[in-house]
Chain A
Amino acid sequence: MLKQIKLLTKLELCNIYNLNVLRFSKNSRRKKKDLSVMMLWLFLIVMLIFYVSNLSYGLLRLELGSLIPAYLITVASLLIFFFGIFKAGNTIFRKNGYDILCSLPINRTAIVVGRFLRLYVENLVIAFLIVMPGLFVYAWFLKPGAAFYILGALSILILPLVPITASILIGAVIMGISSRMKHKSLTAAALSVLFVLLIMYGSSRLSIMEETITPEMLRELSSVIMGTLEKVYPPAVWLGRAVIAGSFMPCFICAGAFLAVFAAAAAIVSIFFHSISQSLCTTSARHNYELKTLKKSSVLSSLCKREFRRYFSSSIYVTNTIIGPILGCILSGALLFTGTDVITKSLPIPLDICAFAPFVFSGIFCMMTTTATSISMEGKNWWILKSLPLSPKSVLNAKILMNLLLMLPFYLISEVLLIPALKPETFFDGFFLCLIPAVIILFSCVYGIAVNLHFPVLNWENEITIVKQSISAILGGMGGVFLSAVCAVIIFLISQEYYALFKALICIFILGATALLHKRITAPDAWRRYEL
């Protein structure tokens, strides 16, 4: 059994982050492209390290250094948990290679443990990148004893275990329920979104409790933050305190408990693994079709329908891209019910919420566009579009149109709720409240395609690698958010009397940039230019 676990874990890890393909690929052009993607990742990692280091330094300057381990462990654990909900189920119960593994004399527990360990290693990297810079900053300035280093390393090693376990169990429940449904992917997507929204609601309730903070408590900021962290994720605080105090015993107890939870989850999942995987792999075919009248559609409409079918066939694709628009609608609704006073009071400086709301909502809507991964999602089917008499323009327009149509109902609902919630004072305020999100959404969709054309990945084995881990998904998601933030900063810097003028200029500029970008990416030689 141990030998099987070792073998399967090795197999799972051999191509982690596409390293095996990069190592053995003889295609120098592809290697160059992969290396440039790795450089981009490296850049993002450096940015993350820089951010965490600065944050930790800031805490040290505020004499809150003792919070660093607990704070960073909480952040890393929450990130691992949230991202895990979307991908854990798909990683553990993925169909790819299931038949081959089942035909081999391998214990199913070994398969499950191998997949658990893959998730562990992937998330260990996240834990390392978030916690290590903070611990380094702490050690650099406060020169703690040897115990700090040992326990710090141990805490990084064990911190992914519990959040992974939690996300796997939620993933298993989602997969277990959806495997019994006819529309498996759609059910899994709906359940994932529901879980995430429930967790968000729960965490918002936690922060609401903090409204009772008194001035006395503010004087004891450290204990207030510790108290909040303890509410969010108590093990992080236990671990953090143990690391700072150099106490081995609490750390060992945590490690033991975490490992026990992880092992127990592996044991539970392995019991249901076979039946869930089998149900997911089983497809029902009726074989009772009779030829009916067929309808002819235009090429664009046909391509667009196909895009929608592709979209809704993948639960991970849906959950990753629909959260933003749903969140936009929920926030608009919340704003309508609570009023703007709650937000105005919580802001450190007085702001005209109506002026900034369009940018905030644009950012939320564009957190992840479908277009940013829609070319990569074609995968092994890319030959079909390439061999058909279809211009890049029609293929890409269909992808953009699909994304716009998907966002349209959410956009409309959000606007219908936002207008009475914000009560724009002038016509222009209302006009830009509607126009700016529409313009930024349009830009994000086109920008998403442009990013994916630069970083396409067609030879993937698992959709997760595209939707959650590809550079295209990361950069595609950042575009709209970054643009919204930049525009908001511009508006913040100018005088209120010029708001309408600058908003109009921003819209014209973004529309112009979108048109240019669209023209460039949909040129007839696009496939050749982007080596697709």
Chain B
Amino acid sequence: MLTIDHLTKHYKGSNKGVTDICLEIEAGDIYAFIGHNGAGKTTTIKCVAGIHDFDSGKILIDGSSIRENPLLCKSRFAYIPDNPDLYEYLTGIQYLNFIADVFNVPARIREELIGRYGNEFEITSSLGDLISTYSHGMKQKLAIISALIHQPKLLILDEPFVGLDPKASVILKNIMREICDGGGAIFFSTHVLDVAERLCNKVAIIKDGSLIASGSMEEILKQGESLESIFMEVVKNA
């Protein structure tokens, strides 16, 4: 579903970036992407989401290149950044309606999905208010609903659990599983290793812009007691 093939991206005039990243995310995968601050997780994710251009390599979504067919690729996934800077001058419902218009979601389906996710995340009553009045968690919930409104096959999430209350975190995890059970895939970065260990079937560890470990969670966990201890060990030795 998502192929990252020898992705290299360096910021001009800086030694930051990612080098030769290769990952394969298949249908049904919940793929965790972990690494310390500044390791290159967000850079990789932004390249995948078509926000950053990259120096070399390929990013394919369902076989289509994000570089050559950006619109086709973008219509197949949804992306949520680590800091949901949404349009503060719109109300929640205006924002959702805007996203639904962009993805050409029929009125009936958008009503149904906004109703469902709005109630699940307990945000429906606030949808008529300006986003500028929302807390960080509410903005995150709204960003999640906007990502789900066009029923994407692939979800690309950067630190999706930051700012969410415990109940919303559980709901999001359930939705993630639901998408994967339906043949979709999730690629997300996180610092919460417990969540990654329990939720994901695959994991990749990045350090200083290079991938130092990747594979199925089962295989990775064979190397130590927990994902946390393995992560510390791998990062130390790399």
Contact A27 B11 (CB under 8 A): yes
Judging by beta carbons under 8 Å apart, are B118 and A291 in contact? yes
- Flag the segment in B127-135, B162-170, B187-195 that touches A: B127-135
Residues in A with CB closer than 8 Å to B101 are 296-299, 301-302
Q: Does B94 contact A (CB under 8 A)?
A: yes
Nearest B-chain residue to A394, judged by Cβ: B102
CB of A310 within 8 A of CB of B87, answer yes
Indicate if B106 sits at the interface (CB-CB under 8 A). yes
A312 to B90, CA, bound (A): 11
Q: How far is the CA of A314 from the CA of B105 in the complex (A)?
A: 30
Residues of B within 8 A of A312 (CB): 89
User: Do A387 and B124 have beta carbons less than 8 Å apart?
Assistant: no
Whether the Cβ atoms of B13 and A387 lie closer than 8 Å is no
How far does the alpha carbon of A312 sit from the alpha carbon of B89 in the complex, in Å? 9
Rounded to whole angstroms, the CA-CA distance of A286 and B91 in the bound complex is 11
Specify the chain A residue showing the minimal Cβ separation from B87.
A381
The A interface, classified by DSSP as helix, strand, loop or mixed, is loop
CB–CB A28/B114 < 8 A: no
In Å, the complex CA distance between A240 and B53 comes to 57
**Contact assessment for A291 and B115 in the assembled complex, using a CB-CB cutoff below 8 Å:** yes
Given contacts A294-B97, A384-B86, A388-B74, contact A27 B14 (CB under 8 A): yes
User: Which B residues are in CB contact (< 8 Å) with A303?
Assistant: 98, 102
- Asked if B50 is at the interface (CB within 8 A of a chain A CB), the reply is yes
Q: Pick the contact of B49 from A285, A387, A531 — CB < 8 Å?
A: A387
State how many angstroms separate the Cβ of B81 from the closest Cβ of chain A: 6
Question: Could you tell me if A389 and B126 are in contact, using CB atoms closer than 8 angstroms?
Answer: no
- Does residue A520 face the partner (Cβ distance < 8 Å to B)? no
CB distance from B157 to the nearest CB of A (A): 12
Q: Mark B106-137 against chain A: 1 for CB-CB distance below 8 A, else 0.
A: 11001100110010000011111110110000
The residues of B that contact A291 with a CB separation of less than 8 Å are 93, 111, 114-115, 118, 124, 127
Q: Indicate the member of B46, B49, B88, B102 with the most A CB atoms within 10 Å.
A: B102
Interface size class, chain B: 35 or more
A412 to B112, CA, bound (A): 43
**CB neighbours of A306 from chain B (8 A):** 87, 90, 98
B98 CB contacts on chain A under 8 angstroms? 302-303, 305-306
Task: State whether the Cβ of A3 lies closer than 8 Å to any Cβ in chain B.
Answer: no
Please state if A288 and B128 are interface contacts (CB–CB under 8 Å).
yes
A-B CB pair tally, cutoff 8 Å: 127
B218 at the interface (CB under 8 A from A): no
Instruction: Tell me, yes or no, whether A289 is within 8 Å of chain B by CB.
Output: yes
**A132 CB to closest chain B CB, in angstroms?**
36
Bound-state CA distance A293–B126 (Å) is 16
- B102: chain A residues at CB < 8 Å are 299, 302-303, 388-390
Whether the Cβ atoms of A387 and B107 lie closer than 8 Å is no
Q: Of A289, A305, A391, A531, which contacts B125 at CB under 8 A? A: A289
The answer to whether the Cβ of A468 comes within 8 Å of any Cβ in the partner chain is no
A298 and B104 CA atoms in complex are apart in Å by: 8
A389 touches B71 (CB 8 A): yes
> Nearest chain-B residue to A388 (Cβ)?
B102
Residues of A398-435 at the interface with B, using a CB-CB cut-off of 8 Å, are none
Contact of A296 among B71, B86, B99, B100 (CB under 8 A): B100
The answer, yes or no, to whether A23 is at the interface (CB within 8 Å) is no
List the A side residues contacting B128 at CB < 8 Å. Answer: 286, 288-289
Q: Once the chains are docked, how many angstroms separate the CA of A446 from the CA of B89?
A: 25
Q: How far is the CA of A305 from the CA of B73 in the complex (A)?
A: 25
Residues of B within 8 A of A287 (CB): 125-126, 129
Q: How far is the CA of A309 from the CA of B102 in the complex (A)?
A: 17
How far, in angstroms, from A295 to B133 measured CA to CA in the complex? Answer: 24
**Are A383 and B71 interface neighbours, CB within 8 A?**
no
**A357-394 contact mask (Cβ, 8 Å, vs B): 1 or 0:** 00000000000000000000000110110111111000
Given A31-B13, A296-B100, 19 more contacts at CB 8 Å?
A26-B13, A27-B11, A29-B12, A283-B132, A284-B133, A285-B126, A287-B125, A289-B124, A289-B127, A293-B111, A302-B97, A303-B102, A309-B89, A381-B85, A381-B86, A387-B51, A389-B75, A389-B102, A390-B74
Chain A residues proximal to chain B, CB less than 8 Å = 26-31, 283-291, 293-299, 301-303, 305-306, 309-310, 312-314, 380-381, 383-384, 386-391, 528, 531
Instruction: Provide 5 A-B residue pairs closer than 8 Å at the C-beta atoms, listed in order of the A residue.
Output: A28-B14, A285-B130, A312-B89, A314-B89, A390-B74
